Structures are given as structure tokens and as C-alpha cells.
Chains A and B, each alone.
Chain A
Amino acid sequence: MLRLEKRASPSRAWGMATPLLAVVLTMIAGGIMFAILGKNPVEAIRTIFWDPLFNPQFAAYSRPQLLVKAGPLILIAVGLSLGFRAGIWNIGAEGQYIVGAITGAAVGLAFYPTEAWFIFPLMVISGAIGGLLWAMIPAVLRTAFRTNEILVSLLLVYVAQSLLSSMALGALRNPQGGGFPGSRNLSQYPAAANPELIAGTGMHWGVVAAFIAVIFAYILLQRHMLGFSIRLAGQAPRAARYAGVSPTRLVILCLGISGALAGLAGLFEVSGPAGQISIDFASGYGFTAIIVAFLGRLNPVGILLAGLLMALTYIGGELAQFMLGLPAAAIQAFQGMLLFFLLAVDLLSNYRIRLGGAK
């Protein structure tokens, strides 16, 4: 008989190993699924994980795209991880991402067609403020009225999506767009554009910001008093209170930081890869970032790697779809498996498996 025994404290070794184990298990289960669909599982896995990086036909294009796709995921996930560590659940990063894009783009469009150096920095600031203010709604409601921030932040995503539609059709619509929804293309307006910084690398300001956020979060958690408060509040809420950590301040800070970072991600996306505010600008980065945060063990460096891995499954998944004719749903199921196995094997870091019956 197999039996589970709770560990006195979570195993550090398993904590490091479970993400890798989850990836391996996903490959095996995904391979079985691909085989059932009548595709060669080895070829499918190779197309997803190997071809975007090393296939000479695609790699030159796909490798930089990895950064483009991973940038916003990492930026959002780093912000979310701070709150998640403290037990503050911001599920609405998608909404903050959208609002940051709208406020940032609106500032840029207001200056059109002026050319001035300060326009892009101003957009960056207003993108961050937009995301921050949107996150303040669940933060204030929680601290003042003890509402549940999971529900409030999640429901605000749908409000943000409606706001996005209305902006694309109304206030921000391109007056020279022939009646079609969508704003002017910011990437064609040099003062407001977020272009590739070095040609062929995929590096844009959003990717730079993501790397800075990783370093910043790492130092915060390791060296700063706030980082200590966050970790303490998550692991031992009562002890944190005795130690003088103000729960209100922590909620405001954690939601504020994650909102601002999500807003920044939105701004960099709308002024760079997406180019414009359009009805379907939101592409689910805010939700996928939740998976990335947990896959990275809420650790900044882990999140960096997890973001790149997630981006790889997207880009490789697209390749697998049209190279091998795998249905889109199979790729989504494959990505879902990753989170499923991660949560499942998490058991191993908190419990020990013992052979034999109960004593």
C-alpha cells in the first residue's frame, strides 16, 4: 500500500525538481494524446520543443519571437508572484494589462502627429498608472469592505474587455481608418513606437522591462524588508501581524505592483508587437501569466525560465499545428496538462510517499 505522510516542512529538493518532473510528465501524457490522434508523438514533441530553437528553417525567426512572446508573460507573472506569496490573489491581471494598454496608447494618440522624445516615456508612465489604478479597485474594496479580491479582480477583466471594445470603436478609433474599428497603428508613429531595439533579436522595451523586473523582484525578496514581510505574511499570517506587518499596506502594495507591471506589459505590447488598440487586442497574457508564476515556483528566476518555456509551447504549438495538422485544441490541452501535472506533483514537496499500511 502506498501512503502519504505530511512533511514537517516542504522539501526544497522536490520544490526544485517538480517543475522539471511536470514538464517530463506533460511530454509523456501529451505524446500519448498525440499518438491517439494518429500523429507520431516523437515528431510532435520535437516540433514543439526543438524546432523553434534549432530547426534551421525556422530558428532564425522563432528564437527572437520567443522573447517577444515571453516578455509580457514574465513581466506580469513577476508582479503576480509577489501577491501570491503573500496570499493576495490578483486573478485580474488581464484587465490591468488591457487598461494599461488603453491609457498608454491614449496618451500617445493624443500627441499624434507630434514628434518629441518625451512621448514614449510619458506613455510608459501612464500605462503603469492605468494598470495600477485598475488594480486599486479590488485593493481598496478588499481593505475597506473586506470583499474578495479574487472575484473582484476577475470580474473587472470583463469590464476591461468591454472598455477595450468601446475604445476601439469610439474614442480611440483611427479617424482615417475608413470606418473600421481599431486605433491608429502606433508602431507606424515613431515617437510612440516600441520597435525592435536590435534587429533580429526580438528585444523591445517590454522584454528589457521584464528582465529588470526579474532582477528587481529578486533583490526585493532576498534583501528588502518588504520582501520579508511578503514572505512572512504568506507563510505565517499571524506571526506577520505580531511582527508589525500591516495587512492593508501589503494588499495595496502587492496589488499595486502587479497592476502596474501588467499595465506596463499592455503598453509595451500595444506600442510594439500588436501595434494598435483593437477589439481583440487582449490575447490572454494576463491569465497565462498565472500559470507561468506557479510554474516558476513564484521565484523571479524560475518565472523567467517558465515564461520562456510557456512561450516555446505557444510557438512550437503553432508549428506543430500546421506542420503536422494537430488540432488547436490538442495544443491547448497540452498546455493545460503542464499546469495540471505541476499542481499534481506539488504533492511531493509537501508529502512523502511511504510504502506499507498506516500504523
Chain B
Amino acid sequence: MKKLLLATAAVLAIAGGASAQGMDKVKACFVYVGPIGDGGWTYQHDQGRLAVIEEFGDRVDASTYQESVPEGADAERVLTQMALSGCNIIFTTSFGYMDQTNNVAAKFPNVKFEHATGYKRDHANVSTYDARFYEGRAVMGTIAGHMTESNKIGYIGSFPIPEVIQGINSSFIAARKVNPDVTMSVVWAYTWFDPAKEADAAKALIEQGVDVILQHTDSTAPLAEAAKTEGVIGFGQASDMSEFKPSPRVSSIIDNWAPYYIERIGALLDGTYEQKATWAGIAEGEVEIGEITDAVPAEVKTAAEAVRDAIAGGQHPFTGPLNKQDGSAWLAEGETPDDGTLAGMNFYVEGITGSIPQ
């Protein structure tokens, strides 16, 4: 018995020592808010997980994931059970897991937690990562502004949180820039993934005369709805949604999480892992613009690609002069907002009608 204890202690000592200089094998686990077959947000995270397996082979066990975990008390239990099952690093891929991620991280200081789109890092083992989706929105907005004939653009919002409001403002600013007559209607679906609700939202927008739909929800239902009406177009969201090419899907914003997942797990393997907050965009390849199809005239395509390349080159989608919805000044000529302002954005820019649900 004593011998066994000594042996166990020795093994633990080796394992403990190894973690300081890296690990031989990492077990990476993923928590998803929707099903991996949603064709959008969760699908794209799962592609990142598969890329990790491809990259590291036997050195990583990334077979563990859980779909459709509600953003509430259930998430805390799922995270705890994952940590108990021996995960070394856990990626929680939705905003609503923020408090649960931090709560569970406090109980498992040796497990690394990576929370997507959040801002709370209460413990040394919690990192956050996000993508500058609003950069991609500026490209979509440019296409929308050119393409709309009714001058009415529709936007299906999920929840009125800063991340979504950034996208609404960014696409509207870009659309107004190329088409001063454009107006935008926003419908709130209050869900990340609910094909029926998303389709209803798209239908309501089309009935109002909207002919370009942008969405910040995860399913392909709005595109399927757009396909039913001649002349209505939309964009792939989070994933390419290429099955709706060449129209109604005329382009897309693709979230490419694979480089980040490979970087973080690689860092854990070679011992260089550190807590951090990442917010990458088009320049880093985390936000990609999907193929712009031939349903869009060549000059519109060129204009959209110019916006994309300018952003990649450092041009900020929110560059003054810009006013808030109530007409008060926000950014002076040439001024750009800092990341803190963006992360707390809770107002529309001038020209958008309607109000953010309070």
C-alpha cells in the first residue's frame, strides 16, 4: 500500500512538473449553445474543434463536446461535470455562459476556461476570445446598400446586447455611405437558434417591403424564407451557408475559430499558455468574407472587396464624424472609438429608426 502511494505521488509529481513545461496530451472540451448541425454559429465552432484534431492528432483528445446547453443553471452543471471528467481546457462558446464559466473556473483552478464573446475574467484560469464581427458587417452593409431597390434593409437581431448592436450600426453606416436613402428595420428574435422564430422574423420583414436581410441568429431559416420571394437577398451568418448560393445568399461572414483553437491548445501543449483577452478581425483571418456571388453586379463586388481590404489594412468601420441616434455627437472627424466603448455599445447611430428594447 505504501509503495503504491509513493508510486502515485511520483506520478503526480511528474505530471505536475510536466504541466509547467507543457503537457504530453491535452483533453479539450467544448460547450455549444445550439446543435452542431445549425449550419451557422455552432457548426463553425465545431469546425474549429475538428481542425484541432487534424492539427495535433494523438496529442490531443478533442472528442468531448455538448450541444444545445441552455444558458442558465444547466450550463454550470455541464461545465462542472466536464471538469470532473478530466478536461484540461474547456471552451464555452456563447455569451450567456459568462457567469457559469467564472463560477466553475473558481472551483477548478487547474483547468483552463476559454469563454467566447464575454468580458469577465474573474480568475487567472479564465480567458476570453471574440471576433470583430462588425468588420464583416461593414462589407455586408456595403453590398446591402447597393443592392436594395426598395431602400429598405431588414436586420434580425438575437438579443439587444453590445455585440449585436455593433453589427447593426456598422452595417447601417456602410449602407448609408453608398445609398443615402436607405432605412433599416430591426426585429428582435430573443434567441440564438430557433428556425421557426427566425423564419417568422424574416417573413415579417419581407412583408414590410424589405428586400435585403441581415441576421444575427444562427440558423439558415431566414435565407430559406428569403428564397421564397423573388428579389430578396440575404447573407450567410457565422458560416458560409453556401447551399443558398448564388442567391438569396450573395455573400457571408464566416467565423473562423480554428486558428485560435489551435493556438491555445498548442500553447497548453508546449507550456506557453497564458491568460488573455483576444479580439481579432478580418486582418487576423478570424472574420472571413465568403464568396460574393454573380448575383451581385461586378462593380458592387469590387466596392465590397475594397471595404474589406481597407478594414484589413487598418481602416476602422466606426470612423467619425458620427452622431448617435438622438443627434448628439459621438465621434469627431477621423476619430475612432476604443474597444471599451465598442464592448459596451448600447445606442443606435443617427438614421436608424426604432429603439433598442430597454
Contacts and interface: CB of A to CB of B under 8 A. Distances in A.
B63, B73, B346: which has the most chain A beta carbons within 10 Å?
A: B73
Nearest to A274: B73
Nearest to A162: B190
Contacts, number: 84
A280 B70 contact: yes
Contact of B344 (A178, A269, A279): A178
Contacts of A225: none
A170 B70 CA distance: 22
A166 B188 CA distance: 12
B190 A322 contact: no
A281 interface: yes
Interface residues of B, number: 34
B67 A269 contact: no
B85 A323 contact: yes
Given A181-B160, A321-B67, A322-B85, A273 B73 contact: yes
A102 to B, nearest CB: 15
Interface string A159-172: 00000011001100
Contacts of B29: 322
Contact of A275 (B78, B84, B99, B346): B99
Contacts of A26: none
Given A170-B357, A278-B71, A319 B81 contact: yes
Contacts of A283: 70, 72-74
A169 B68 contact: no
B81 A61 contact: yes
Given A278-B72, A281-B72, A283-B70, A65 B64 contact: no
A338 interface: no
B78 A318 contact: yes
Given A327-B67, A329-B35, A58 B84 contact: yes
A65 B76 CA distance: 11
A178 B99 CA distance: 14
Contacts of A68: 73
B80 interface: yes
B96 A169 contact: no
B25 interface: no
A179 interface: yes
Interface in B80-137: 80-82, 84-85, 96, 99, 119
A322 B71 CA distance: 17
Interface in A289-340: 315, 318-319, 321-323, 325, 327-329
Interface of B: 29, 35, 63-68, 70-74, 76-78, 80-82, 84-85, 96, 99, 119, 159-162, 190, 344-346, 357-358
13 contacts: A170-B357, A173-B358, A181-B160, A185-B99, A274-B72, A278-B96, A280-B70, A280-B71, A280-B72, A283-B73, A322-B64, A322-B66, A325-B65
